[in-house]
Amino acid sequence: MRKFVVEADGGSRGNPGPAGYGAVVLDAASGQTLAEAAEYLGVVTNNVAEYRGLLAGLRAAKELDPDATVHVRMDSKLVVEQMSGRWKIKHPDMKPLAAQAARVFPPGRVTYEWIPRASNKHADRLANEAMDAGARGERWSASTSTAELDAGAAAGAPEVGIGAGTGAGAAVDERIAQAARTDTETTEVPRPSAAAAAAAVTADADADADADADADVRAAKTVASPGWGPPDMGAPATFVLLRHGETPLTPQKRFSGSGGSDPSLSSVGREQAEKVAESLARRGTIQAVVASPLARTRETAGIVAARLGLEVTVDEGLRETDFGAWEGLTFGEVLERHPEDMDAWLSSPDAEPTGGGESFAATGARVAATRDRLAAAYAGRTVLLVSHVTPIKTFVRLALGAPPESLFRMELSAASLSAVAYYADGGASVRLFNDTSHLR
């Protein structure tokens, strides 16, 4: 039975930003490069790009020999640990990719090993070639790739024999020699059972996953590049961000997230939605309407969409933060009942509201993933996103590269309009914030 080594990597210039992956399939016995794969992915996170690289490498290996065994070597501890079944998967963009990767070869035929980045130069060079090609508006081409030569030069091209059977004069990079040694000399991780793999794909993220390997956290801390670039980038995806109209809880300034009573609009809120609809109809720029699943946003979106002659698409990623036991309470009531939890919440984006609510870091990760997905789906178009205070502020915060504490320094009124444009190079530009002129 043939044995292959797959080395894969992915990168994102901005995380999320313009991204690409690279993968190489090597003969474990000789170290010979058998196949290379690379692709520009558009705007995605670093970890999604790494998973795409893994998937491409496994598929390339299967095309060479569907009966082979494969040893995967990557410098992404997150991917290695998740595919080994020790860490669970939370990110919605990674779950389907992990599931696809687990199905390429039968269980037991693939092992995983983490390696330092310096030992993954070939795949890294391929990923960068793909991103460079994408920046030029081109597709990566294997015929023009110099990744293997560049990686060898960067590593000093050491020659390490693998032993008997490799042929006279055979010499390979140390990374291949390591992969070809006995199991006692390498850190090979057994393939998890099908049940374990399925559990890893469907369960929440392991709290022990370190921050450096956590795509969710890194995506939530994105610093976007300026929103300008060469004229050939084309029209941006423009999100017009509409906060829903007032509910009975709004003037009372009570916490009203996705874990509470889910109130509908008040009469004032419905009037506000009508005014927004009239204003947007005059502008005539909205091409699609997407709303949070909560009642107040769906009702606001429905009023606006009816005026514009559009349908409403519901997206779970636009829902408000879950405020746990604080739902329905005022700030003062929470401070009186849960002072320590409130202090922690005000001090750290990782702190959760009392009772297992959602932290701002978790909301940020969710919004970042939603932004990536919708920016790709509505590239070059203007879409109305009907959402809530925290998600809208988070869209703006991420576009500006502002710290999490900036969420407490923005005022966002009911039925207000904000706008952010997202460009093909991963840049973002805030064009409007908290506009309520249509309500006067």
Q: Known catalytic residues?
A: 244, 320
What gap in Å lies between CA 213 and CA 267, rounded to an integer?
A: 47
Burial (0-12, 13-18, 19+ Cβ within 10 Å), 423? buried
- Please say whether the beta carbons of 287 and 382 come within 8 A: yes
d(CA 50, CA 41): 11
Q: Are 321 and 357 in contact (CB under 8 A)?
A: yes
Provide the residue type at 120 as one letter: N
Beta bridge partners of 5: 26, 71
Q: How many CB atoms lie within 10 A of CB 408?
A: 9
User: What DSSP assignment string belongs to 169-235?
Assistant: T--B-HHHHHHHS-TTTS--BPPPPHHHHHHHHHSPPPTTS-GGG-HHHHHHT--PPPS---GGG-P
CB 367 within 8 A of CB 396: no
Tell me the C-alpha distance between 307 and 252, whole Å.
30
CB atoms within 10 A of CB 62: 17
Nearest 5 degrees, angle CA 18-CA 24-CA 27?
175
Say if residues 278 and 341 touch (Cβ distance below 8 Å).
no
Residues 364, 351 contacting (CB under 8 angstroms): no
| Residue 7, CB-side half-sphere exposure with 13 Å CA sphere | 31
